[in-house]
């Protein structure tokens, strides 16, 4: 019999109208990195919630080291040595790294904190696993990569044996991803068992030993990474062949749609200028991509273009009109769409139904509101249903599902559907495929190319180098608020782009 750290056998979990987990088996060997792969809404999160005792399965058992265990709540999971790094970190922003690590298990004598031994233990762990952190740094001042290392140390500090990483690379830069991969390998070598939830096939191929695949709540199978290919994994996940590179004809750029001159935007977080004297053009029929490491002014650039932040200097012309001081609504009416970076902050009203979110940019149009100011609910329903069908937005109750109850990937699809269906002359897409599985990414990439081929301009902001290389017709690299290079994706390499992104090279 094999030596399993944790086993989830024949787990079935139902919700009204949906079987989230249908007879799923997941066996994690001691000391292995086991990837859990599945589309958005395939049931990965539900399965993890079962493991953490947030849901009780209707069927199936969980075994730890061969013994059946019952997990009623996250505390039980903790006691069994199961720890998790969430996609969105659970850290206290204004606490130091050390304080965050010991949070909840503070060593104390009669209520007085004993930080010295905690510090010693944290430093020892940090050394042992190569997790560089500054224990006294405040969370809000450190990089995302270091925040993640803090989360990992949190698990190690609690002597967790089973470590779950929930889409850990979604927020990291390429360099940080590379570091994380090394850390994970080191942890596995030290005997920790790792469950790696991801839909990035390259990372799974690089780091995992085995991979279990879920599709639409069903268990498809477990494969050895050494015996499989990226193509096979994606086929198991999506149920069909997936094209990784979107077929696209060479761009036929036409008239300029957007002309930016000397744009300067202040940052909200600090007073300095996040975008400094940036000038560029986007023409009809081309996809221009802004590449760069997160936090180099891309967010503020988009805020300036869409009107969410005022410009400190510069001028924006859109289709021959000066748009520098135009309101957000008028920019939208003039033919600009915006797929926002943060779907929960800007993209959706989470407490609204899906159908109400679908008309967020158009609710005031005569199609949806009559002259007296009453909403035409039938038209809204019909319109939402059409977008749901066309873009395959999956949800429990269709148009009347609260947006909050939908999975992240489907929320993103809903936003993409809404913004592209407006048929904008300029589509500003910020990380349009963030958190999506390969099938959905393929679909959205195709939609973006189709939109370009219809003679529209697309400005894509992306942190994913692969996406940048495969989708763009021109690449502008941003570094510390400036555009430091314009590259042709056909003539450049990822390595060269990396040099520009890191500020080592500029034109």
Partner 1 sequence: MKQKSSLIRNDGFQTFITSIICIILGLIVGFFVLLLINAKGAGKAILAVIQNFFQYPSFNAQLKYFGSTLAKTAPLIFCSLSVLFAYKVGLFNIGAAGQYCLGMGLALYMAICLQCPWYLCLICGIAAGALSGALGGLLKAKLNVNVVISGIMLNWISLYGMNMLLKPAMDPAGKDTFRLVNKAKSAVLPTLGLDKIFSNNQYVTIAIPCAVLVAVIVWIILDKTKLGYELKATGNNPNAAKYCGMKENRNIILTMAIAGGLAAMGGSLYYLSDFEQWNVNANAVPAMGFNGIAAAFLGGLNPIGCIFSSYFITHITMGGGNVDLSHYCAQIADLISAVIIYLCGFVLFFKTLINNSLRKSEERFTEEERAAVKAADAAEKTAAEAAKNPEGGNE
Site residues (CB under 8 A) for partner 1?
Answer: 14, 16, 56, 58-59, 215-216, 218, 239, 306, 308, 327-332, 338, 340, 345-352, 356, 360-361, 363-364, 369, 373-375, 377
Non-local (6+) Cβ contacts of 159 within 8 A are: 81
The smaller minimum CB distance to partner 1, of residues 22 and 286, is found at 22
Q: At its nearest, how many Å lie between partner 1 and the CB of residue 377?
A: 8
Enclosing H/E stretch for 388: helix 377-391
Q: At its nearest, how many Å lie between partner 1 and the CB of residue 29?
A: 26
Helix (H, G, I), strand (E, B) or coil at 23: strand
- CA neighbor of 17 nearest in space, from 357, 371, 395, 271: 395
- Do β-strands 256-266 and 4-15 pair in parallel, antiparallel, or remain unpaired? unpaired
Q: At its nearest, how many Å lie between partner 1 and the CB of residue 89?
A: 21
Q: At its nearest, how many Å lie between partner 1 and the CB of residue 52?
A: 18
The smaller minimum CB distance to partner 1, of residues 9 and 350, is found at 350
Spatial separation of the C-alpha atoms in residues 39 and 192, rounded to whole Å: 26
Q: At its nearest, how many Å lie between partner 1 and the CB of residue 210?
A: 20
The smaller minimum CB distance to partner 1, of residues 133 and 406, is found at 406
Backbone angles phi, psi at 121, to 5 degrees: -65, -45
Spatial separation of the C-alpha atoms in residues 491 and 20, rounded to whole Å: 46
The smaller minimum CB distance to partner 1, of residues 94 and 328, is found at 328
Residue 394 in tokens: 């999956």
- Do β-strands 210-215 and 33-38 pair in parallel, antiparallel, or remain unpaired? parallel
Q: At its nearest, how many Å lie between partner 1 and the CB of residue 217?
A: 10
Helix (H, G, I), strand (E, B) or coil at 157: helix
**Per-residue DSSP letters for 283-319?**
ETT-EEEEE--TTSSHHHHHHHHHTSS--SEEEEEET
- Do β-strands 287-291 and 474-479 pair in parallel, antiparallel, or remain unpaired? parallel
The smaller minimum CB distance to partner 1, of residues 218 and 248, is found at 218
- Do β-strands 210-215 and 218-224 pair in parallel, antiparallel, or remain unpaired? antiparallel
Q: At its nearest, how many Å lie between partner 1 and the CB of residue 180?
A: 30
The smaller minimum CB distance to partner 1, of residues 94 and 349, is found at 349
Spatial separation of the C-alpha atoms in residues 458 and 448, rounded to whole Å: 8
The smaller minimum CB distance to partner 1, of residues 14 and 230, is found at 14
The sheet carrying 457-461 orders its strands as 336-339, 426-430, 457-461, 287-291, 474-479, 482-487
The smaller minimum CB distance to partner 1, of residues 185 and 422, is found at 422
Q: At its nearest, how many Å lie between partner 1 and the CB of residue 357?
A: 9
């Amino acid at each position: 019999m094999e030596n399993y750290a944790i086993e989830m056998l024949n787990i079935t979990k139902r919700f009204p109208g949906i079987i989230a987990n249908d007879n799923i088996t997941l066996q994690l060997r001691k000391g292995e990195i086991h990837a859990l792969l599945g589309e958005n809404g395939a049931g990965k999160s539900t399965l993890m919630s079962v493991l953490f005792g947030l849901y009780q399965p209707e069927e199936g058992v969980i075994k730890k080291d061969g013994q059946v265990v019952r997990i009623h709540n996250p505390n039980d999971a903790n006691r069994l040595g199961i720890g998790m790094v969430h996609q969105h970190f659970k850290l206290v922003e204004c606490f130091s790294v050390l304080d965050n690590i010991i949070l909840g298990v503070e060593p104390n004598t009669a209520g007085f904190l004993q930080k010295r031994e905690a510090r010693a233990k944290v430093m020892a762990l940090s050394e042992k696993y190569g997790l560089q952190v500054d224990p006294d740094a405040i969370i809000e001042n450190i990089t995302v990569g270091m925040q993640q290392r803090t989360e990992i140390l949190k698990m190690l500090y609690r002597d967790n044996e089973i470590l779950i990483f929930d889409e850990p690379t979604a927020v990291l830069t390429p360099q940080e991803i590379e570091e994380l991969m090394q850390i994970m390998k080191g942890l596995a070598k030290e005997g920790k068992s790792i469950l790696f939830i991801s839909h990035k096939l390259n990372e799974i191929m690089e780091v995992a030993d085995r991979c279990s695949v879920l599709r639409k709540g069903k268990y498809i199978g477990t494969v050895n990474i050494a015996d499989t290919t990226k193509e096979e994994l994606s086929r198991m996940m999506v149920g069909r062949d997936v094209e990784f590179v979107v077929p696209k004809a060479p761009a036929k750029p036409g008239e300029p749609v957007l002309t930016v001159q000397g744009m300067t935007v202040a940052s909200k977080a600090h007073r300095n200028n996040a975008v400094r004297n940036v000038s560029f053009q986007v023409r009809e029929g081309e996809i221009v991509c802004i590449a760069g490491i997160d936090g180099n002014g891309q967010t503020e650039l988009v805020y300036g273009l869409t009107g969410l932040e005022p410009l400190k200097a510069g001028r924006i012309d859109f289709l021959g009109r000066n748009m520098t001081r135009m309101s957000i609504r008028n920019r939208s009416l003039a033919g600009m769409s915006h797929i926002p970076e943060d779907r929960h902050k800007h993209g959706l009203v989470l407490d609204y139904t899906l159908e109400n979110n679908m008309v967020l940019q158009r609710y005031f149009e005569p199609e949806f509101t009559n002259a007296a100011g009453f909403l035409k609910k039938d038209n809204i329903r019909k319109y939402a249903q059409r977008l749901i069908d066309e873009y395959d937005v999956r949800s429990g109750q269709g148009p009347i599902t609260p947006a909050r109850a939908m999975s992240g990937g489907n929320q993103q699809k809903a936003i993409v559907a809404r913004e592209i269906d407006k048929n904008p002359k300029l589509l500003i897409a910020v990380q349009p495929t963030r958190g999506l599985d390969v099938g959905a990414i393929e679909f959205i990439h195709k939609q973006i190319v189709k939109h370009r081929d219809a003679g529209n301009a697309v400005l894509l902001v992306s942190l994913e180098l692969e996406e940048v290389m495969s989708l763009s017709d021109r690449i502008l690299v941003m570094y510390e608020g400036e555009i430091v290079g314009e590259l042709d994706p056909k003539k450049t390499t990822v390595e060269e782009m990396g040099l520009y992104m890191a500020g080592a090279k500029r034109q």
